[in-house]
Structure 1
Amino acid sequence: MAQRVYAYGIVVLPPPHVRREIAALRRRHPVLHASVPPHITVKAPFVLRSTGAWALERLEEICAAHEPFELELDGLDSFGTEVLYVRVAESEPLRRLHQDLVDGLAGYVETLRDRYEGKAYTPHLTVADHLTPEEFALARRELAGWHPRARFEVDAVHLLRGWNRWDVTRSIPLSCEL
Protein backbone atom coordinates (compact mmCIF):
# COMPACT_ATOMS: atom_id res chain seq x y z
CA MET A 1 0.00 0.00 0.00
CA ALA A 2 1.39 3.42 -0.97
CA GLN A 3 2.14 5.87 1.80
CA ARG A 4 -0.31 8.77 1.93
CA VAL A 5 1.23 12.15 1.12
CA TYR A 6 -0.17 14.91 3.28
CA ALA A 7 -0.38 18.58 2.40
CA TYR A 8 0.48 21.17 5.03
CA GLY A 9 -0.39 24.81 5.54
CA ILE A 10 0.69 27.51 7.96
CA VAL A 11 -2.14 29.63 9.32
CA VAL A 12 -3.28 32.08 11.97
CA LEU A 13 -6.34 30.87 13.83
CA PRO A 14 -8.65 33.73 14.80
CA PRO A 15 -9.83 33.85 18.41
CA PRO A 16 -12.55 31.37 19.44
CA HIS A 17 -15.36 33.97 19.33
CA VAL A 18 -14.56 34.73 15.67
CA ARG A 19 -14.38 31.03 14.76
CA ARG A 20 -17.73 30.45 16.51
CA GLU A 21 -19.32 33.38 14.66
CA ILE A 22 -18.17 32.07 11.25
CA ALA A 23 -19.27 28.51 12.13
CA ALA A 24 -22.71 29.80 13.24
CA LEU A 25 -23.09 31.76 9.99
CA ARG A 26 -22.25 28.63 7.99
CA ARG A 27 -24.87 26.63 9.92
CA ARG A 28 -27.58 29.31 9.47
CA HIS A 29 -26.84 29.87 5.78
CA PRO A 30 -26.21 26.55 3.99
CA VAL A 31 -24.93 28.41 0.94
CA LEU A 32 -21.88 29.39 3.03
CA HIS A 33 -19.98 26.17 2.61
CA ALA A 34 -16.22 26.10 3.01
CA SER A 35 -13.67 23.36 2.64
CA VAL A 36 -11.63 24.42 5.68
CA PRO A 37 -12.24 25.78 9.19
CA PRO A 38 -11.92 29.57 9.74
CA HIS A 39 -8.28 30.66 9.43
CA ILE A 40 -5.94 33.18 7.83
CA THR A 41 -3.36 31.55 5.57
CA VAL A 42 0.22 32.67 6.19
CA LYS A 43 1.93 30.14 3.88
CA ALA A 44 0.04 28.44 1.04
CA PRO A 45 -0.41 24.65 1.15
CA PHE A 46 2.70 22.60 0.47
CA VAL A 47 4.15 19.10 0.56
CA LEU A 48 7.46 18.22 2.17
CA ARG A 49 10.39 17.53 -0.14
CA SER A 50 12.11 15.25 2.37
CA THR A 51 11.96 14.63 6.08
CA GLY A 52 9.56 16.83 7.99
CA ALA A 53 11.98 17.28 10.89
CA TRP A 54 14.23 19.66 8.95
CA ALA A 55 11.28 21.72 7.71
CA LEU A 56 9.78 21.91 11.20
CA GLU A 57 13.09 23.02 12.67
CA ARG A 58 13.37 25.73 10.00
CA LEU A 59 9.75 26.80 10.62
CA GLU A 60 10.46 27.18 14.34
CA GLU A 61 13.60 29.25 13.60
CA ILE A 62 11.67 31.60 11.33
CA CYS A 63 8.84 32.06 13.85
CA ALA A 64 11.31 32.67 16.68
CA ALA A 65 12.61 35.67 14.72
CA HIS A 66 9.18 37.37 14.71
CA GLU A 67 7.44 39.24 17.50
CA PRO A 68 3.74 38.76 18.22
CA PHE A 69 1.59 41.30 16.36
CA GLU A 70 -1.98 42.51 16.14
CA LEU A 71 -4.41 41.77 13.31
CA GLU A 72 -7.66 43.49 12.49
CA LEU A 73 -10.59 41.99 10.58
CA ASP A 74 -12.74 44.57 8.83
CA GLY A 75 -15.62 43.89 6.46
CA LEU A 76 -16.56 41.48 3.69
CA ASP A 77 -14.92 41.15 0.29
CA SER A 78 -14.58 38.50 -2.39
CA PHE A 79 -12.33 36.87 -4.94
CA GLY A 80 -14.59 37.02 -7.97
CA THR A 81 -17.82 35.14 -7.34
CA GLU A 82 -16.19 31.97 -5.98
CA VAL A 83 -14.89 33.05 -2.57
CA LEU A 84 -16.45 35.30 0.06
CA TYR A 85 -14.11 36.41 2.84
CA VAL A 86 -13.49 38.76 5.76
CA ARG A 87 -10.79 41.32 4.96
CA VAL A 88 -7.61 41.44 7.04
CA ALA A 89 -6.41 45.04 7.45
CA GLU A 90 -2.94 45.72 6.06
CA SER A 91 -0.31 44.34 8.44
CA GLU A 92 3.40 44.75 7.76
CA PRO A 93 4.34 42.16 10.43
CA LEU A 94 2.06 39.58 8.76
CA ARG A 95 3.53 40.34 5.33
CA ARG A 96 7.09 40.00 6.68
CA LEU A 97 6.24 36.69 8.35
CA HIS A 98 4.62 35.45 5.14
CA GLN A 99 7.63 36.39 3.00
CA ASP A 100 10.13 34.97 5.50
CA LEU A 101 8.22 31.66 5.48
CA VAL A 102 8.06 31.59 1.68
CA ASP A 103 11.79 32.33 1.38
CA GLY A 104 12.95 30.30 4.38
CA LEU A 105 11.06 27.10 3.56
CA ALA A 106 11.74 27.16 -0.20
CA GLY A 107 14.34 24.38 -0.07
CA TYR A 108 12.26 22.17 2.20
CA VAL A 109 8.79 22.25 0.66
CA GLU A 110 7.01 22.22 -2.67
CA THR A 111 4.25 24.83 -2.63
CA LEU A 112 1.03 23.64 -4.23
CA ARG A 113 -0.44 27.07 -5.00
CA ASP A 114 2.43 29.55 -5.21
CA ARG A 115 0.36 31.96 -7.31
CA TYR A 116 -1.08 33.18 -3.97
CA GLU A 117 2.28 34.07 -2.46
CA GLY A 118 4.69 36.99 -2.52
CA LYS A 119 3.19 40.09 -4.12
CA ALA A 120 -0.05 38.17 -4.83
CA TYR A 121 -0.56 37.36 -1.12
CA THR A 122 -3.94 38.68 0.08
CA PRO A 123 -4.49 37.89 3.76
CA HIS A 124 -8.14 36.97 4.35
CA LEU A 125 -10.48 34.79 6.41
CA THR A 126 -12.63 32.64 4.13
CA VAL A 127 -16.35 32.60 4.92
CA ALA A 128 -17.40 30.49 1.90
CA ASP A 129 -15.59 29.03 -1.09
CA HIS A 130 -16.30 27.12 -4.29
CA LEU A 131 -19.47 29.18 -4.78
CA THR A 132 -21.43 29.20 -8.01
CA PRO A 133 -22.44 32.67 -9.27
CA GLU A 134 -25.98 32.00 -8.01
CA GLU A 135 -24.75 30.95 -4.55
CA PHE A 136 -22.50 34.00 -4.41
CA ALA A 137 -25.40 36.36 -5.18
CA LEU A 138 -27.55 34.64 -2.53
CA ALA A 139 -24.75 34.79 0.06
CA ARG A 140 -24.21 38.51 -0.58
CA ARG A 141 -27.94 39.15 -0.07
CA GLU A 142 -28.12 37.03 3.09
CA LEU A 143 -25.07 38.75 4.60
CA ALA A 144 -25.96 42.31 3.53
CA GLY A 145 -26.26 43.52 7.14
CA TRP A 146 -23.23 41.68 8.51
CA HIS A 147 -20.13 43.84 9.07
CA PRO A 148 -17.48 41.65 10.69
CA ARG A 149 -14.92 43.44 12.83
CA ALA A 150 -12.39 42.07 15.27
CA ARG A 151 -8.94 42.90 16.58
CA PHE A 152 -6.67 40.32 18.18
CA GLU A 153 -3.06 39.49 18.95
CA VAL A 154 -1.24 36.83 16.98
CA ASP A 155 1.34 35.11 19.18
CA ALA A 156 1.62 31.84 17.24
CA VAL A 157 1.05 30.25 13.86
CA HIS A 158 -0.39 26.80 13.40
CA LEU A 159 0.77 23.99 11.16
CA LEU A 160 -2.19 22.25 9.52
CA ARG A 161 -1.99 18.83 7.94
CA GLY A 162 -4.63 17.77 5.48
CA TRP A 163 -5.91 14.96 3.38
CA ASN A 164 -9.71 14.92 3.35
CA ARG A 165 -9.85 17.33 6.27
CA TRP A 166 -7.35 19.70 7.88
CA ASP A 167 -6.13 19.31 11.47
CA VAL A 168 -3.76 21.40 13.58
CA THR A 169 -0.64 19.31 14.12
CA ARG A 170 1.47 21.88 15.92
CA SER A 171 1.36 25.46 17.21
CA ILE A 172 4.57 27.45 16.80
CA PRO A 173 5.01 30.54 18.97
CA LEU A 174 6.24 33.87 17.67
CA SER A 175 8.87 34.99 20.11
CA CYS A 176 11.68 37.13 18.65
CA GLU A 177 14.21 35.06 20.64
CA LEU A 178 17.19 35.10 18.29
Structure 2
Amino acid sequence: MKFGIVIFPSKKIQDYANSMRRRYDPHYALIPPHITLKSPFEATEEEIKEIANKIDSIARNFKPVNVNIKKIGSFKPVNNVIYLKVESPEELDSLHNELNSAFDGDQEYNFVPHITIGQKMSDDEHSDVYGSLRMTKVQFDDTADRIHLLYQLDNGSWTVYETFRLGKE
Protein backbone atom coordinates (compact mmCIF):
# COMPACT_ATOMS: atom_id res chain seq x y z
CA MET A 1 0.00 0.00 0.00
CA LYS A 2 1.19 3.56 -0.71
CA PHE A 3 1.58 6.04 2.18
CA GLY A 4 2.74 9.64 2.59
CA ILE A 5 3.17 12.21 5.36
CA VAL A 6 1.74 15.72 5.03
CA ILE A 7 0.66 18.88 6.80
CA PHE A 8 -2.79 20.20 5.96
CA PRO A 9 -2.84 24.00 6.23
CA SER A 10 -5.75 25.97 7.70
CA LYS A 11 -9.13 26.03 5.96
CA LYS A 12 -8.49 29.60 4.80
CA ILE A 13 -5.29 28.54 2.98
CA GLN A 14 -6.96 25.40 1.60
CA ASP A 15 -9.88 27.44 0.24
CA TYR A 16 -7.49 29.87 -1.43
CA ALA A 17 -5.40 27.05 -2.95
CA ASN A 18 -8.52 25.18 -4.11
CA SER A 19 -9.81 28.28 -5.90
CA MET A 20 -6.88 27.77 -8.31
CA ARG A 21 -6.49 24.00 -8.08
CA ARG A 22 -10.02 23.51 -9.45
CA ARG A 23 -8.77 24.84 -12.77
CA TYR A 24 -5.08 23.97 -12.84
CA ASP A 25 -4.53 20.77 -10.85
CA PRO A 26 -5.86 17.44 -12.18
CA HIS A 27 -5.28 15.97 -8.67
CA TYR A 28 -7.76 18.45 -7.17
CA ALA A 29 -10.32 15.75 -6.33
CA LEU A 30 -7.73 13.23 -5.08
CA ILE A 31 -6.18 15.08 -2.12
CA PRO A 32 -6.77 18.37 -0.27
CA PRO A 33 -4.11 21.11 -0.46
CA HIS A 34 -1.11 20.01 1.60
CA ILE A 35 2.60 20.35 2.33
CA THR A 36 4.39 17.07 1.65
CA LEU A 37 6.81 16.09 4.42
CA LYS A 38 7.53 12.57 3.15
CA SER A 39 6.92 11.59 -0.47
CA PRO A 40 4.81 8.52 -1.18
CA PHE A 41 6.34 5.23 -0.02
CA GLU A 42 5.26 1.59 0.04
CA ALA A 43 4.53 -0.27 3.28
CA THR A 44 2.53 -3.29 4.36
CA GLU A 45 -0.21 -3.26 7.03
CA GLU A 46 2.26 -4.79 9.51
CA GLU A 47 5.02 -2.26 8.70
CA ILE A 48 2.73 0.75 8.90
CA LYS A 49 1.91 0.11 12.57
CA GLU A 50 5.60 0.40 13.46
CA ILE A 51 5.99 3.41 11.15
CA ALA A 52 3.02 5.13 12.83
CA ASN A 53 4.66 4.60 16.24
CA LYS A 54 7.90 6.16 14.94
CA ILE A 55 6.00 9.14 13.48
CA ASP A 56 4.24 9.63 16.81
CA SER A 57 7.52 9.77 18.72
CA ILE A 58 9.06 12.15 16.14
CA ALA A 59 5.99 14.43 16.25
CA ARG A 60 6.20 14.69 20.05
CA ASN A 61 9.72 16.16 19.73
CA PHE A 62 8.58 19.06 17.54
CA LYS A 63 6.63 22.17 18.46
CA PRO A 64 3.87 23.37 16.11
CA VAL A 65 5.44 24.91 12.98
CA ASN A 66 4.76 28.25 11.36
CA VAL A 67 3.39 28.17 7.83
CA ASN A 68 4.01 31.50 6.10
CA ILE A 69 3.04 31.94 2.46
CA LYS A 70 4.12 35.10 0.68
CA LYS A 71 4.34 34.26 -3.01
CA ILE A 72 3.50 31.96 -5.89
CA GLY A 73 6.39 30.00 -7.41
CA SER A 74 7.15 27.44 -10.10
CA PHE A 75 9.43 24.43 -10.47
CA LYS A 76 10.00 25.11 -14.17
CA PRO A 77 12.28 24.00 -15.91
CA VAL A 78 12.33 20.80 -13.79
CA ASN A 79 8.57 20.37 -14.18
CA ASN A 80 5.50 22.50 -14.91
CA VAL A 81 4.25 22.83 -11.34
CA ILE A 82 2.92 26.10 -9.91
CA TYR A 83 2.71 26.37 -6.13
CA LEU A 84 2.19 28.54 -3.06
CA LYS A 85 5.69 28.92 -1.60
CA VAL A 86 5.86 28.12 2.10
CA GLU A 87 8.60 30.11 3.82
CA SER A 88 10.68 27.39 5.36
CA PRO A 89 11.28 27.89 9.04
CA GLU A 90 14.04 25.74 10.46
CA GLU A 91 11.50 23.57 12.33
CA LEU A 92 9.80 22.55 9.07
CA ASP A 93 13.13 21.55 7.50
CA SER A 94 14.10 19.67 10.66
CA LEU A 95 10.76 17.84 10.78
CA HIS A 96 11.11 16.85 7.11
CA ASN A 97 14.72 15.67 7.62
CA GLU A 98 13.83 13.68 10.73
CA LEU A 99 10.93 11.90 9.01
CA ASN A 100 12.98 11.14 5.91
CA SER A 101 15.97 9.78 7.80
CA ALA A 102 13.69 7.62 9.97
CA PHE A 103 12.15 5.96 6.91
CA ASP A 104 14.36 5.35 3.91
CA GLY A 105 15.80 8.80 3.28
CA ASP A 106 15.67 8.53 -0.53
CA GLN A 107 13.81 11.35 -2.19
CA GLU A 108 13.54 12.38 -5.80
CA TYR A 109 13.80 16.15 -5.23
CA ASN A 110 15.23 18.53 -2.63
CA PHE A 111 12.73 19.63 0.00
CA VAL A 112 10.95 22.82 -1.06
CA PRO A 113 7.93 23.34 1.22
CA HIS A 114 4.99 24.24 -0.99
CA ILE A 115 1.31 23.73 -1.72
CA THR A 116 0.71 22.72 -5.34
CA ILE A 117 -1.93 24.79 -7.13
CA GLY A 118 -1.25 23.69 -10.73
CA GLN A 119 0.48 20.77 -12.43
CA LYS A 120 0.64 18.60 -15.55
CA MET A 121 0.40 21.63 -17.84
CA SER A 122 1.83 22.07 -21.31
CA ASP A 123 4.72 24.53 -21.56
CA ASP A 124 2.48 27.17 -23.13
CA GLU A 125 -0.28 26.76 -20.54
CA HIS A 126 2.28 26.89 -17.73
CA SER A 127 3.78 30.10 -19.13
CA ASP A 128 0.36 31.76 -19.44
CA VAL A 129 -0.92 30.68 -16.00
CA TYR A 130 2.32 31.34 -14.12
CA GLY A 131 2.76 34.65 -15.91
CA SER A 132 -0.60 35.86 -14.63
CA LEU A 133 -0.37 34.34 -11.12
CA ARG A 134 3.22 35.15 -10.13
CA MET A 135 2.47 38.82 -9.50
CA THR A 136 -0.47 37.97 -7.22
CA LYS A 137 -0.05 39.30 -3.69
CA VAL A 138 -0.31 36.38 -1.26
CA GLN A 139 -0.09 36.70 2.52
CA PHE A 140 -0.92 33.87 4.92
CA ASP A 141 0.51 33.25 8.37
CA ASP A 142 -0.60 30.05 10.02
CA THR A 143 0.55 27.51 12.57
CA ALA A 144 0.36 23.77 11.94
CA ASP A 145 0.04 21.70 15.09
CA ARG A 146 -0.35 18.23 13.54
CA ILE A 147 0.95 16.01 10.77
CA HIS A 148 -0.97 13.31 8.94
CA LEU A 149 -0.06 9.85 7.71
CA LEU A 150 -2.11 9.27 4.55
CA TYR A 151 -2.73 6.21 2.42
CA GLN A 152 -3.81 5.93 -1.18
CA LEU A 153 -7.08 4.25 -2.10
CA ASP A 154 -7.59 2.11 -5.22
CA ASN A 155 -9.19 5.05 -7.07
CA GLY A 156 -6.01 7.15 -6.58
CA SER A 157 -7.41 9.41 -3.86
CA TRP A 158 -5.66 9.87 -0.51
CA THR A 159 -7.21 9.62 2.93
CA VAL A 160 -5.94 10.00 6.51
CA TYR A 161 -4.63 6.84 8.16
CA GLU A 162 -3.59 8.57 11.39
CA THR A 163 -3.03 12.10 12.72
CA PHE A 164 -0.19 13.07 15.07
CA ARG A 165 -0.07 16.18 17.25
CA LEU A 166 3.19 18.11 17.27
CA GLY A 167 4.65 18.68 20.73
CA LYS A 168 4.29 16.97 24.04
CA GLU A 169 0.75 16.56 25.35
Given the two structures, how large is their TM-score scaled by the length of structure 2? 0.86
Contact 1:34–1:127 (Cα < 8 Å) also in 2: no
Report the alpha carbon displacement of residue 114 of structure 1 after superposing the two structures with TM: 1.2
Q: Which runs of 4+ in 1 moved over 6 A?
A: none
Of 72, 75, 95, 2:71 maps to 75
Report the alpha carbon displacement of residue 93 of structure 1 after superposing the two structures with TM: 0.2
State how far apart, in whole Å, the 2-side matches of 1:147 and 1:34 are.
24
Q: Which runs of 5+ in 2 are unaligned?
A: none
Report the residue type matching 2:101 in the other structure. D
Report the alpha carbon displacement of residue 115 of structure 1 after superposing the two structures with TM: 1.8
State how far apart, in whole Å, the 2-side matches of 1:34 and 1:97 are.
28
Of 121, 138, 154, 1:131 maps to 121
Report the alpha carbon displacement of residue 62 of structure 1 after superposing the two structures with TM: 0.8
Of 89, 92, 104, 1:91 maps to 89
Change over 3 Å in CA distance of 1:79–1:125 after alignment to 2? same
Q: Which residue of 2 aligns with 1:3?
A: none
Q: Which residue of 1 aligns with 2:11?
A: 16
Partner secondary structure for residue 108 of structure 2: helix
Report the residue type matching 2:88 in the other structure. E
Q: Which residue of 1 aligns with 2:52?
A: 56
Q: Which runs of 5+ in 1 are unaligned?
A: 1-5
Percent pairwise identity? 25
Alignment: residue pair count:
161
Q: CA RMSD in A?
A: 1.9
State how far apart, in whole Å, the 2-side matches of 1:79 and 1:46 are.
22
Given the two structures, how large is their TM-score scaled by the length of structure 1? 0.82
Report the alpha carbon displacement of residue 144 of structure 1 after superposing the two structures with TM: 5.0
